[in-house]
Amino acid sequence: MGKASSSKKIRRVQQAGVSRAPGQRRNLMYPALIIAIVVIGTALVLIARDNRQATASESPTTRDHWHEAFGINVCGEYLDPAADDGPDRLGIHTHQDGLIHVHPFGAGASGENANMQAFFDQIGAEVSDGTMKLFDGTEKSDGQECEGKKAELALFVWPPQANDKTDPEKLTGSEINEARFTEDGGVYVLSFNPSGFTPPLPPSVSELANPSDVEPGQATDEGLNSATSTTTPASSTPAESTTTAPAETTTSTPG
């Protein structure tokens, strides 16, 4: 009697715990929905990350036109702004205004190829293994001295909108040539100074606010470097030449 009653109680408990009718399939919709949400969310995060990385690795592109401030500081003094050594071949050049104009013509100067090596080639400078040979004949190597102190070659990099209180990144050795232009408005200083010396921001930082632009392919190096001091011939301004004395027909065109 007692054993039969116990068996009946067990069956009642088991039946009470079953919420579906005999033969009814278990409802898997809710757990499947949760799994789908997790999978889709993870996929979106990975896609967004890959897109950001791809954009960073590709910039600048042929659609970009950036300006970077640049200076060369030797033993505490800034040299005169560099000039192009021939026509702009890749889309990375200077107007001899202390700025690097970055507007790639193609793959040769876009993405990872938009770096200091491309600019050094454009201005006729050789930088490698702690040595630099500049366009004006200046040659410096690690270990030479500045006012009695051993100096080293380094590249200092500031982000856009930097000021005197902003700490730069310091690059040496092969890192100098490999330094990439990754955004508009950066600041770069090639420095030959004692190891504890951080150069001030270059004078050309002020030029970033109002750079002189020339669209890719519209001018050669000669035209670019003379853009700030071009004299307009009288024949190109007929309205002025018919009303102005010959001595006054030449007008200065701002860069």
Residue ranges covered by each domain of the chain: 66-231
Q: Quote the pLDDT of residue 243.
A: 40
Secondary structure element (H or E) that encloses residue 150, with its range:
strand 149-158
CA distances from 241 to 188, 223, 229, 251 (A): 45, 24, 20, 11
Label residue 122 by pLDDT band (50, 70, 90). very high
- Across the chain, what does the average pLDDT equal? 79
Q: What percent of the chain has pLDDT above 90?
A: 58
Among 43-57, 177-191, 209-223, top mean pLDDT goes to 177-191
Return the closest-CA partner of residue 103 out of 206, 218, 223: 218
Is this prediction's pTM over 0.75? no
Label residue 181 by pLDDT band (50, 70, 90). very high
Least confident of 25-29, 41-45, 83-87, 135-139: 25-29
Q: Quote the pLDDT of residue 241.
A: 38
Copy the structure tokens of residue 140: 């410096």
3-state secondary structure of 127: strand
Label residue 14 by pLDDT band (50, 70, 90). low
Q: Quote the pLDDT of residue 37.
A: 87
pLDDT tens for 211-224 read 976 544 454 444 43
Return the closest-CA partner of residue 137 out of 202, 199, 79: 79
Least confident of 46-55, 107-116, 157-166, 199-208: 46-55
Q: Quote the pLDDT of residue 202.
A: 98
